[in-house]
A = this chain, B = another copy of it.
């Protein structure tokens, strides 16, 4: 169903959590795990991927943790997906991977998926995490983080 990975979903949750500047500017992965309800090892994995993509910066050692590298209005869904799932390409038959398709000499749509890939990339590149956080969300759901943490403990 054109599913995108659950990890990406988590990544969005984590990034939005990280954007809450009202708390410590640097947050640890166990802390984020506790706050979001996502298992700690998974949070760590997501954070590592986001770090590799330079979406977050890490601080090692005692009192270390993670912080955002850009504000969320500068981060698009496409960025997150690319960070977690790799480059956005819907099929194996994208340009550059030539020769992988064993029926390509017959295939009538050879290379035609680029049109679709571009459309997807454009659509995804036009949505920022800031929009996902705020846009038309009932106030009830708008980051009642503190209360949730308390409830989770």
Interface residues of A, Cβ cutoff 8 Å to B: 1-4, 6, 9, 12-13, 16-17, 35-38, 77, 81, 85-93, 102-103, 105-113, 115-116, 119-120, 122-124, 126-127, 131-133, 135, 137, 141, 143, 145, 148, 151-152
Q: A90-B4, A137-B111 are in contact. Are A122 and B123 (CB under 8 A)?
A: yes
A57 to B: closest C-beta gap in Å: 21
Central interface residue in A35, A106, A133, by most chain B CB within 10 Å: A106
Q: Are A103 and B38 in contact, with the CB atoms below 8 A? A: yes
- Complex formed: what's the CA distance from A13 to B142 in Å? 45
Instruction: Give the nearest-CB partner of A118 in chain B.
Output: B123
Q: How many of these chains are in the complex?
A: 2
A97 to B: closest C-beta gap in Å: 12
Contact of A120 among B2, B102, B141 (CB under 8 A): B2
Set of chain B residues within 8 Å of A85, measured between Cβ atoms: 1-2
Q: Are A127 and B119 in contact, with the CB atoms below 8 A? A: yes
Instruction: Give the nearest-CB partner of A125 in chain B.
Output: B119
Set of chain B residues within 8 Å of A141, measured between Cβ atoms: 108, 110-111
A146 to B: closest C-beta gap in Å: 12
Instruction: Give the nearest-CB partner of A145 in chain B.
Output: B108
Q: Are A109 and B1 in contact, with the CB atoms below 8 A? A: no
- Complex formed: what's the CA distance from A92 to B152 in Å? 23
Set of chain B residues within 8 Å of A92, measured between Cβ atoms: 6
Set of chain B residues within 8 Å of A81, measured between Cβ atoms: 2
